[in-house]
Amino acid sequence: MQKLLVESQREGYFDTPMSMIKAFQENHDAFVIHARGMTELSTMGTLNSMNAYMSGLSQEQRYELQTKQGRPIYGIEIRIVDQDDNALAHDGKIFGRLQVQGPWVASSYYKHDDVSDWKDGWFDTGDVATIDEQGYMNIVDRAKDVIKSGGEWVSSIDVENIAMGHDAVQECAVIGIPHPKWDERPLLLVIAKEGVNISKQDVSGYLNDKIVKWWMPDEVLFVETLPHTATGKLLKRELRDQYQELYTNNELAGSSV
């Protein structure tokens, strides 16, 4: 069995969808090892490699676990907290801001007086994550990209990863745009594979039994391109600026979840 290390790097990480993990395993006998790091951690923080626990799971359970960014490496501690910095349960369900600490985690930025990202020895990564009972961390979103709709959080990354499993989807992005009733609602932008016919109904139907109702994008728009940084990261701020008036400019303003 080949092993393939994938370091997370979407807005700091590339997140690997289950469809890709399955394809590497079933088509190339390549076991995807998810990892997550950032410069401030010098550089790896978590690793999701094969261990005794994972080897005891069914194939489908293992695929599900492989989508997570893994457990902290030696010397690194992780936790999730609420908006008041209260530690949250590690139950794999509760979302919270991901904080890390360790002897080689940065304690400040060079020639920068702002230390607001550090508190009581913990560094706030800017990510929103869950941590399960086994200590596996899963990035839900960047704090600035998580969609707040009707008092609930919607993970743009999770919806993107599921949508990427559709055979006709080349690339996609999910953003939250202002909504007069729900605060924000998800918008799904899709680049279709060349020569493939796909409709909004196809995408919505594919997502229907895979995500909860309030995560369902109110609209699916097909686009030719999506903006990226020089290193390939999606520029979601640019997309939010471009589509922020969508609900006020058309009939979507009356949409409900």
Per-residue model confidence as pLDDT tens digits over 130-164: 999 999 999 988 888 889 898 888 999 889 999 99
CATH fold of 1-144, please?
A: Rossmann fold (3.40.50)
Q: What angle do CA 127, 18, 80 make, to 5 degrees?
A: 25
Q: What is the largest CA-CA distance in the chain?
A: 54
CATH number for 147-254: choose from 3.30.300.30, 3.90.199.10, 3.90.1580.10, 3.40.50.2300: 3.30.300.30
165: pLDDT strictly greater than 50: yes
Q: Give the mean model confidence (pLDDT) for residues 7-30.
A: 75
pLDDT band at 11 (very low <50, low <70, confident <90, very high): very low
Q: What pLDDT does 254 receive?
A: 47
Whether residue 43 has a cis bond before it, omega within 30° of 0: yes
Q: What pLDDT does 13 receive?
A: 43
Q: What pLDDT does 12 receive?
A: 40
Query: What's the first-to-final CA gap in the chain, in angstroms?
Result: 44
Spatial contact of 136 and 65, defined as CB atoms under 8 Å apart: yes
Q: If you average pLDDT over every residue of the chain, what do you get?
A: 89
Q: What pLDDT does 1 receive?
A: 65
pLDDT band at 52 (very low <50, low <70, confident <90, very high): very high
Look at residue 190 and give its three-state secondary structure: strand
Report the DSSP beta bridge partners of residue 242: none
Distance, CA of 217 to CA of 206 (rounded, Å): 12
Q: What pLDDT does 247 receive?
A: 73
In terms of pLDDT, which residue wins out, 254 or 182?
Answer: 182
Domain with CATH 3.40.50.12780 in the chain: 1-144
Q: What pLDDT does 138 receive?
A: 93
pLDDT band at 239 (very low <50, low <70, confident <90, very high): very high
Domain with CATH 3.30.300.30 in the chain: 147-254
Spatial contact of 136 and 71, defined as CB atoms under 8 Å apart: yes
- Sort strands 147-149 and 96-101 into parallel, antiparallel or unpaired: unpaired
Q: Give the mean model confidence (pLDDT) for residues 54-65.
A: 96
pLDDT band at 242 (very low <50, low <70, confident <90, very high): very high
Q: What pLDDT does 249 receive?
A: 63
pLDDT by residue (tens digit) across 66-112? 999 999 999 999 999 998 899 999 999 998 999 999 999 999 999 98
